[in-house]
Structure 1
């Protein structure tokens, strides 16, 4: 029986025991979690022992070399398991930093947080799902409401030409007229809000849609740091 067959056999038997004793919560006097860890470590110990025995044929120095290699492998596996959540978070932060608008979702103190990183232009921009369409939006605490551009309003199924532009708003391009609308659903990561009051800017008066206070004011908290913005549901 080669080493791979031994490892698969042990894991298969252990899995069968766990499946059979799932409802009881215990296997061979151990809790299922403890038994699972034991089954996980047993093949590693077996492979370590096999490496030591193989190394004995090459003398003491060869045996010590095998032991050191296997200890490093075991430590790497343990570290990867213990810090798997941190590794996922690091990878997500790297991706968000490289791809503007990508939000990072983390679990903090029992709740979900969405982290938005500042773009090269110095703004907080996020890809937001609005009625099923993903729109790049600027997070703007100075905007009293969610404001859609004329083009984005058409993307989510509104007919901006038929709207009544009865409101006056200030934009980066100056004073403009806007039409009041209601958005069925806005989501950024796991944070979802429904029936959100919003406005549609008249054609050509807004360069990018704004995620304003009719959405932001519903959050549990909004924390702005030097290069990141944290939104908590």
Structure 2
């Protein structure tokens, strides 16, 4: 059995032990996080030893050169591991800027999760929400007293729009109209989930895009609006 096979075998055993001892939180009396870091460092040590052994065939100069190369590789791997969450946040932020409505989920210093929405090219904040488990692209509207679904979106989330009673009179930019009151079993934006949300359904042709209004937004812990981003905090 060569050295690398032995190292990978040890890694497999270490990962199996972590899975087996997940609930206890410790492996051989060591905190699972610390034990996991030790398992993670095994392949780095293997790479370094292989580089040194390979360099021994070419003399001291080759050994030093190989050692320097492997040290750079190891530093790169360690840096990627230490800053993995920053890289993930950067990637999510980049995608959010390129894809309107994509929510960026970040963890605040106190451990709570936040959802960040970037302003779209139209100058509005939009998001892709899950309504009753179905995706709905919505416009965030703090001026709307309620969540309002267009007829097509209401159909998409499983509402029988033909049997709704359009009895609620509301004033819109196009004048006064009637909408139907409904209850949505769930609205989710990333980790933020609200159940049994009061909402309205607009008549056909009355609303181009569904609105994420205050019956959802008022349940948040905080809603912070800046020039080009909107931060939703769960609690």
Q: TM-score, normalised by structure 2?
A: 0.85
Q: Displacement, 1:16?
A: 6.7
* Preserved CA contact (<8 Å) 1:171 1:205: no
SS class of match (2:186): strand
For residues 5 and 151 of structure 1, the distance between their equivalents in structure 2, rounded to whole angstroms, comes to 58
3-state DSSP of counterpart to 2:58: coil
TM-aligned CA deviation for residue 61 of structure 1: 2.6
Q: Counterparts of 2:223 and 2:15 in 1: how far apart (Å)?
A: 45
Deviations 1:100-140 (A, max 9, x none): 22212222122121111111111111111112221111000
Q: How many residues align?
A: 232
Partner of 1:105: 105
Aligned-residue CA RMSD (Å): 2.6
Residues 172, 206 of structure 1: 8 Å contact kept: no
Q: Could you give the per-residue CA deviations for residues 8-57 of structure 1, whole angstroms, max 9, x where no partner exists?
A: 23334555776788859353x75554444344434433432332233233
| Cα 1:123/1:30, change in 2 over 3 Å | closer
C-alpha distance in structure 1 between counterparts of 2:31 and 2:199, whole Å: 54
Q: 1:195 matched to which residue of 2?
A: 196
Q: Which ranges in structure 1 are unaligned for 5 or more consecutive residues?
A: none
* Aligned mates of 1:196, 1:228 — CA distance in 2: 25
Note closer, same or farther for the CA distance 1:147–1:25 as it changes in structure 2 (3 Å cut): closer
In the other structure, the counterpart of 1:95 is 95
* Closer/same/farther in 2, CA of residues 54 and 160 from structure 1, 3 Å limit: closer
Give me the whole-angstrom Cα distance separating, in 1, the residues matched to 2:140 and 2:185: 19
Cα 1:182–1:73 change in 2 (3 A) is same
**110-119 or 159-168: which moved more?**
159-168
Structure 2 alignment gaps of length 5 or more: none
Are residues 1:225 and 2:226 paired?
yes
Tell me whether 172-181 or 108-117 shows the greater mean CA deviation.
172-181
Contact 2:128 2:137 in 1 (8 A): yes
11-20 vs 62-71, which deviates more? 11-20
Deviates more, 1:111-120 or 1:53-62: 53-62
- Alignment partners' CA distance in 1, 2:52 and 2:21: 34
Q: Give SS of 1:184's match.
A: strand
Rg comparison, structure with higher value: 1
